[in-house]
């Protein structure tokens, strides 16, 4: 059983310098690309030139991380092909406003758990959310596991990758969309927040919440009431609550 699971995960993976170079040249979209720190050689220079020319996001990591990803001869480079094409948040916002649609966008700040990500996208699709925005680095891997957890919703909800999340949120804000931070650091209940306005709801990681620089941009802050002894909800559950509260307000 475990062996089949590993083979399933590996179908998203490309390793080795030459295979990754050819994948970039063929137009493949990488969700994640890891390059070993302090790697040298002419072939690496060729790879780095392709990365630069095609504006591919990559992360330098120690060899131990690559060895954990695969035991095969990775040559210091491991990439994961995205099963989806990424969308432009600017185009989505323009389309919403031009067609008279009241935008509802979900922004995920440093949510790295694949199952949470997939569950959030599934809820977003069911509720008619217009887009989900994720940072290019520090986000859950968009893999076959994420696709499975989303019940295929990743095929239907536009996923927008932000190379600079703060700048992307500032652009969203300037387009006339309210930034709503879901956080415990406020006394305002999510049921009192005005979610009938064009909104981009920001959800933070379960460990650290929303980062300080992102929190400062928020037009509204809202918390989900906790009446029991457990101090917090799972982030995918929290996202579902605020998405459907927005839907309830907009349907009244």
Domain count, the chain: 2
Q: Given 65, 81, 97, which residue is the final one in a domain?
A: 81
**How far apart, in whole angstroms, are the C-alpha atoms of residue 37 and residue 65?**
11
Both 52 and 93 in a single domain?
A: no
Structural domain harbouring 201: 89-251
Taking only the tens place, the pLDDT of each residue in 2-24 is: 343 343 444 588 999 999 999 99
Average pLDDT, the chain: 91
Both 98 and 71 in a single domain?
A: no
The total number of residues written for the chain in this structure: 252
pLDDT score recorded for residue 6:
40
Taking only the tens place, the pLDDT of each residue in 184-218 is: 989 999 999 999 999 999 999 988 899 999 999 99
Both 124 and 77 in a single domain?
A: no
Taking only the tens place, the pLDDT of each residue in 113-128 is: 999 999 999 999 999 9
Q: Is residue 5 part of a domain?
A: no
CATH of the domain at 22: 3.30.1330.30
Mean pLDDT of 27-39: 90
Both 150 and 120 in a single domain?
A: yes
Q: pTM of this prediction?
A: 0.85
CATH of the domain at 124: 3.40.1280.10
Both 34 and 118 in a single domain?
A: no
Both 119 and 185 in a single domain?
A: yes
Q: Which two tokens stand for residue 144?
A: 């076959």
Are the CB atoms for 188 and 222 separated by under 8 Å? yes
Q: Given 81, 107, 126, which residue is the final one in a domain?
A: 81
Both 62 and 162 in a single domain?
A: no
Both 134 and 21 in a single domain?
A: no
The H-assigned helical ranges of 14-88 are 17-25, 42-53, 63-69
Mean pLDDT of 73-99: 94
Mean pLDDT of 223-246: 93
Q: Given 55, 81, 107, which residue is the final one in a domain?
A: 81
pLDDT score recorded for residue 11:
55
Question: Which segments within 66-163 are labelled E, that is strand?
Answer: 77-81, 104-109, 131-135, 159-162
Both 34 and 73 in a single domain?
A: yes
Say yes or no to pLDDT of 72 above 50: yes
Both 75 and 141 in a single domain?
A: no
Confidence of residue 141 (pLDDT cuts 50, 70, 90): confident
């Amino acid at each position: 059983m475990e062996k089949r699971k590993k083979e399933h995960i590996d179908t998203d993976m490309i390793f080795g310098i030459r295979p990754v170079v050819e994948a970039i040249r063929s137009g493949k979209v990488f969700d994640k690309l890891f390059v070993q720190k302090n790697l040298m050689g002419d072939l690496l220079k060729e790879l780095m030139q392709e990365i630069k020319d095609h504006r591919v996001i990559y992360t330098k990591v120690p060899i131990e991380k690559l060895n954990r990803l695969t035991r095969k001869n990775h040559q210091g480079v491991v990439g994961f092909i995205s099963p989806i094409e990424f969308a432009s948040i600017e185009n989505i916002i323009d389309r919403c406003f031009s067609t008279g649609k009241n935008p509802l966008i979900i922004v995920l700040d440093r949510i790295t758990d694949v199952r949470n990500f997939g569950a959030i996208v599934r809820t977003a699709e069911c509720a008619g959310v217009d887009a989900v925005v994720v940072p290019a680095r520090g986000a859950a891997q968009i893999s076959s596991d994420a696709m499975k957890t989303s019940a295929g919703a990743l095929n239907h909800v536009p996923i927008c990758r932000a190379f600079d999340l703060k700048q992307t949120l500032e652009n969203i804000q300037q387009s006339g969309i309210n930034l709503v931070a879901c956080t415990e650091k406020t006394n305002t209940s999510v049921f009192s927040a005005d979610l009938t306005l064009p909104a981009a709801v920001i959800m933070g990681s379960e460990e650290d919440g929303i980062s300080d620089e992102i929190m400062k941009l928020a037009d509204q802050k809202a918390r989900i009431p906790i009446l029991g002894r457990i101090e917090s909800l799972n982030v995918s559950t929290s996202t579902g609550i605020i998405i459907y509260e927005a839907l309830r307000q907009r349907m009244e």
